[in-house]
Structure 1
Amino acid sequence: MTNPASSSAQQGVSVVGLGPMGSALARAFLAEGVPTTVWNRTRARTEAPASEGADVAADLASAVRCAPTIVTCLRDHRSTRELLEPLPAEDLAGRTVVVLASSSPVEARETQAWADARGLDLLIGAIMVPTPLIGTEDSLILYSGRKEVLERSRPALEVLAPRSEYVGDDPGLAALLDTGMLEVFFAGMTGFLHASAMATAQGSAAADFAPWAKEMLAILPAAFDGLAAAVDAGEHPGDEDNLAMELAALDHIVRTSRESGLDSRFPELMHGLARTAVDRGHGADGWSRVVDMLRTAPAPEAAQAG
């Protein structure tokens, strides 16, 4: 891990926002000996980091003035902008503001435009790990926007995540990747939970099903590579399997779900996408053709009916 005695880490940081993630960020800095100031609207939340050696700022302006790097970890970008907006420009001059809040790509770009209009050095990041991994070798934070701002603050930021990855100059790119990765994560968990509900409804146990579910996970990396290549090329060969075949498999999932008395909306969504593709003449194409169905928002009537 980067030696905190260097550059921005040696000069210290301020952490603004001490929810579970913000508190984890402060603990990671303190564990590495980085001079750390904290501030939170609810002062009680500063007690734990203070007991570990953090300085508690009397107000936001004081927190901003005492360090060259200000790490904010609030609910979202709007609340971050609203919090910082009243500060005099001179309080933020020459400092780097790192925004580690969830957002959409559009909101992240709005935050960058807001910062540019005020002449602020701002860096937008997306935390890709849960709180227990902050400050460990497995921690990952994605950053996008101005690369020179990241490099200037890298010694401090690598305390939080040795894998502090710069993904591009589009300020919304880190948020976009974060959103996409979370979608894969939640869709995978939801698929497992629905399959577990089917299993338990018919007398099996989720723990007995889990090893078989992991067998499917093992083939996904190669499947993702193939799907990505097909999406980028705009070609969807169905040489090995095709949508007409896969629609039959989805029929079985929907039927089993209904027979088990479950909420079948999740498998019905996948079935509906495949059904639409087949009805549009793509039955001989591979599963990647579904991307074209997803690229068109359903009509309002159809969305309400779903």
Structure 2
Amino acid sequence: MAGNDRSPVTVIGLGLMGQALAAAFLRAGHPTTVWNRTPEKAADLVREGAVLAPTAAEAVTAGELVVVCLTTYDAMHEVLDPLDGALSGRVLANLTSGSSEQARETETWASERGAAYLDGAIMAVPAMIGGDEAVLFYSGSASAFEKHEATLRLLGGRTTYVGEDPGLAVLYDVALLGVMWGTLNSFVHGAALLKSAGIDATAFLPWATSWLDAVKLFATDYAGQIDAGDAEYPANDAKLSTHFASIEHLLHESETQGVSTELPAFVHALVKRALDKGHGDNSYAAMIELFQDPKAS
């Protein structure tokens, strides 16, 4: 990892997240140039020592590492497309939310302008930036990440480079968000079930969170089975047919207690399709066969 030499950094885009990014660089002693369409948003950063560039072109040329955090990729292109050769020889670290397809297209676009490209995903709120628990994924140019790793790590202690395919950071991002929403939906549905019997969600919470420790063990086994790729999926904990019977209990209790059956009915239908494809004696990992085949839905 390259040493933190406090080299100049540029931040383009000063929404709440962009301001947090720039502030983290300033706290670490990096000369930081900022630019935003609405320059008033830079006021606090300027008081902390940032330099407000009058134009995007001047901001880009102020530092070798150019961090962009705008609302969309289209907004990024509106700002950077007119800059001609300003990006040449620089590293563009794009922390704008978008798709893996956009990330790959933007790497080509950046390369045509002589810039090395990193696409990033931030799994944190602005207040977490610079802290040990902030998660940021980067993908794209390995040499660019290695050169600026120490600087990029200032934004979050759990900064991780995931590969040269620039679309990988986005895929990690959305995959983890899917885990979050799946978990939260299940927790809230469970809370609704217990509320029907007068049990508070706060009483349910410690049991739900401790149960996640067991789920982590299941997931660890399933990850190995999925990566093995032999489609055997040994049922070391329970067969998929056993899971299906329990899902039917959840579906029945939801209906009986006057709680929406939409979520358990959806899971019931998914698992039923896996059973119909002959996976009844396999582990829950066999569900990967459905998710990898969109024609099966």
**1:168 has 2:163 as partner:** yes
Do the aligned partners of 2:87 and 2:115 also contact (CA within 8 Å) in 1? yes
CA distance in structure 1 between the aligned counterparts of 2:43 and 2:189, rounded to whole angstroms = 42
Q: Report whether the alignment pairs 1:271 with 2:262.
A: no
Inter-partner Cα distance in structure 2 for 1:137 and 1:48: 24
1:178 maps to amino acid:
D
Q: In the alignment, what sits opposite 1:178?
A: 173
Match of 2:211, SS state, is helix
- Is the partner of 2:209 in helix, strand or coil? helix
1:282 partner SS: coil
Deviations 1:104-144 (A, max 9, x none): 22221111111122222221122223322211223332221
1:87–1:254: structure 2 CA closer, same or farther, 3 Å change rule?
Answer: same
SS of alignment partner, residue 87 of structure 1: helix
1:69 to 2:65 alignment: yes
Match of 2:112 in 1: 117
8 Å CA contact 1:81–1:111 kept in 2: the answer is no
Match of 2:222 among 213, 224, 227: 227
Asked if 2 retains the 8 angstrom alpha-carbon contact of 1:71 and 1:98, the reply is yes
1 CA distance for matches of 2:37 and 2:257? 49
Give aligned-pair identity as a percent: 36
Q: Distance in 1 between matches of 2:227 and 2:65?
A: 39
Q: Deviations over 1:212-259 (max 9, x none)?
A: 101211112221111111112222123541121111111121222223
Letter in 1 for 2:253: T
Residue aligning to 1:280: 277
Q: Could you tell me which of 71, 85, 88 is aligned with 1:93?
A: 88
The answer to whether structure 1 residue 132 and structure 2 residue 135 are counterparts is no
2:146 to 144, 147, 151: 151
Describe the SS at the equivalent of 1:11: coil
Partner residue of 1:53 out of 29, 49, 66: 49
| Conserved? CA contact 1:104–1:179, under 8 Å | no
Paired residue type of 2:68: T
Q: What is the DSSP-based 3-state SS (H/G/I as helix, E as strand, rest coil) of the residue aligned with 1:202?
A: coil
Cross-structure match for 1:102: 97
The SS at the match of 1:187 is: helix
CA distance in 1, matches of 2:35, 2:236: 59
What residue ranges of structure 2 are gaps of 5+ in the alignment? Answer: none
**Could you tell me which amino acid in structure 2 is paired with residue 64 of structure 1?**
V
- The count of corresponding residues between Structure 1 and Structure 2 is 294
Cα distance change, pair 27–271 in 1 and its aligned pair in 2 (3 A): same
CA-based RMSD: 2.0
Aligned residue type for 1:180: A
